[in-house]
Amino acid sequence: MKISRRQMLLGGTATAAIAGVGGIRVLTGDMEGFIAGFVRHALPETRFAEGSAEEFARDYLEKTEVERSKIDQLMRAQRIVGYDGLDMLFGSNLSYDGFKRRVATMFMLGSDFFSSNGGQDPVRYLGVVDICSNPFARLT
């Protein structure tokens, strides 16, 4: 089989277009959607009420001091390897582990997670809770 110059150019253009669309998908994304998916991944056994994770993500990004550049990097990596892939790549990284724990903890404290009846009802997000970062603080 002989490939003509025209077929080669068309094939190369099609390949570049497909790669470009994939690259755009990786480079763009919704940070709120990433955080919502991340909290669902961090709490895999939890049933979420409709829109709860998205509402949490919106509040998390608005009301907490977040290094958006770091979240953006995680979001781009997640688009390539998925949430489980992030755990495999960065699971031993203390910064990533701390971020995952912080997001999950903030969701749990801001929801009815601890007052749900044994996981029968979906967990509803109620709002961001201001928590003290010092577990040994005397709150009197």
Note whether residue 110 is domain-resident.
yes
Q: String of b and e for 4-24 (b: at least 16 CB within 10 Å)?
A: eeeeeeeeeeeeeeeeeeeee
Over residues 58-90, the pLDDT tens digits come to: 999 988 777 788 889 899 999 999 999 988 988
Domain tally for the chain?
Answer: 1
Residue 24 has pLDDT above 50, yes or no: no
Note whether residue 138 is domain-resident.
no
92: containing domain: 5-115
Q: Give the residue, 36 or 132, on which the prediction is more confident.
A: 36
pLDDT in the model for residue 92? 81
Give the Cα separation of 123 and 81 in Å (integer).
28
pLDDT in the model for residue 36? 95
